[in-house]
Amino acid sequence: MSDVSSSPWQAIHLVPYGAILHVPAGWEALPPVPANGPEIMRATGGPGRNLIVFKVPARDLTAAGVADTAQERLSAHGYGDFTRTEVRFADRPGVALDFVTRSSKGTVIYRTREYFAVRDNAAFVFGMGSATWEEHLPLIEEIAARFELVD
């Protein structure tokens, strides 16, 4: 994979939500899927390169508390092997939650990372995963590093 940080980037302004998502040039924003709940947007850079952004009520929780709630829901849907790391996300204290999807035989087939940050009483969640984790992790981290919350 080429060096993602030196590639051209484009900003997707999520005006009603006070956020800006930066993705590599050529990526396409997609409309939310209502069945996904509080999804505010999806974007794709082609096969195997998809991301999702949510805005959910924080309910007076920290980013870690919102990640705990997400982990409970994800676990109930069969995701597993959760690990979490305290990170800076959207220029504030945040959490990165990693987890896997397994085949019916128990083989890991997909890894996902979700980033969580809280502003006022809203939590923002950026998620992206890959079947080829080592190849896509630098891109996931770079998109997360560029995510902005604006007034």
Q: Which domains does the chain have, with CATH numbers?
A: 4-149 (3.40.1000.10)
Q: What is the pLDDT of residues 34-76, one digit of tens each?
A: 888 888 999 999 888 899 999 999 999 999 999 999 999 999 9
For the chain, 151 residues long, give each residue's pLDDT as a single digit of tens. 445 656 799 999 998 899 999 999 999 999 888 888 888 999 999 888 899 999 999 999 999 999 999 999 999 999 999 999 999 999 999 999 999 999 999 999 999 999 999 999 999 999 999 999 999 999 999 999 999 999 8
Q: Residue 5: what pLDDT?
A: 59
- DSSP assignment, residue 125? E
- Asked whether the beta carbons of 23 and 12 are under 8 A apart, the reply is yes
145 CB burial (10 A radius; 0-12, 13-18, 19+)? middle
Q: Residue 50: what pLDDT?
A: 92
CA pair distance 130, 147, nearest whole angstrom = 19
Residue 38 has which token pair?
């509080």
Which alpha helices (H) appear in the chain, and where do they start and end?
63-76, 133-146
Q: Residue 1: what pLDDT?
A: 45
> 71-102 as b/e, with b when 16 or more CB fall inside 10 Å?
beebeeeebeeeebeebebbeeebbbbbbbbe
Q: Residue 26: what pLDDT?
A: 94
Residues 6+ apart with CB under 8 A from 29: 12, 41, 42, 43
Q: Residue 39: what pLDDT?
A: 84
Q: Residue 96: what pLDDT?
A: 98
